[in-house]
Amino acid sequence: MATTHDQRPTTRIGYGFDSHEFQPGIPLKIGGITLIHDKGLGGHSDGDVLLHAITDALLGAVAAPDIGALFPPSDPKWKGADSTVFLREALKRVHGAGYAVANIDASLILAAPKIGPHAAAIRVRTAQLLGVRADCVGLKAKTPEGLNLENAAVAHVVVLLEKRRNPKKLRKKTRKKTKRL
Ligand SMILES: [Zn+2]
């Protein structure tokens, strides 16, 4: 067992990308936070573009199937679903593989609303969901200059995982943290 663990890489990197179209009359959720806006993000589940990109980055880091394979948009079960469900499943797979999240870095690209006033709340919430400190979540928001993407939100995320020596102990700790939320 120990030999198997030692053969695993010390760190792993994951990358996730997602995009959703704005639609009127639905709530806007980004990073697990509901933002006041006249439009929300349509499509898969609650349309949380940032949580979807983080989920795919986590899954990619441990070479697991991607979010669309695990939670097919065609399955009515996931319509309007809370995207934290996807993120928790990805995290479970990361921990199951014996890794923990070291840090993530995200870029959000959208014309409106302005993310600046909400950035701190989004980082804190995302960090809570990932079981890391808020200073381990980087978040940049950019407007889509020259991209003709006025009615879409795009997220790019990279995640770094660290190998843990005692995966069982880590899983216990994470469960406890999650309960406190
Ligand atoms: Zn998505």
Q: Which residues of the chain have pLDDT under 50?
A: 1-2, 180-181
The answer to whether 136 and 101 have CB atoms below 8 angstroms apart is yes
- Ligand 1 centroid – CA 6 distance (Å): 35
As a whole number of angstroms, the distance between CA 148 and CA 82 comes to: 29
CA of 22 to the centre of ligand 1 (A): 12
Supply the pTM of this predicted model: 0.88
Tokens of 113: 């609303």
- Domain range enclosing 96: 2-180
Rounded to 5 degrees, φ, ψ at 62 are -110, 20
Express each pLDDT in 9-34 by its tens digit. Answer: 999 999 999 999 999 999 999 999 99
Q: Is the peptide bond before 117 cis (omega within 30 degrees of 0)?
A: no
Distance of CA 145 to the CA centre of its chain: 24
Tokens of 94: 């990361």
Q: From the CA of 153, how far away is ligand 1's center (Å)?
A: 10
CATH number of 152's domain: 3.30.1330.50
CA 19–ligand 1 middle distance (angstroms): 6
Number of separate domains in the chain: 1
DSSP 149: -
pLDDT, residue 92, reads: 98
- How deeply is 80 buried, as exposed, middle or buried, from its count of CB atoms within 10 A (0-12, 13-18, 19+)? exposed
Determine the Cα–Cα distance for residues 22 and 164; give it in Å rounded to an integer.
Answer: 40
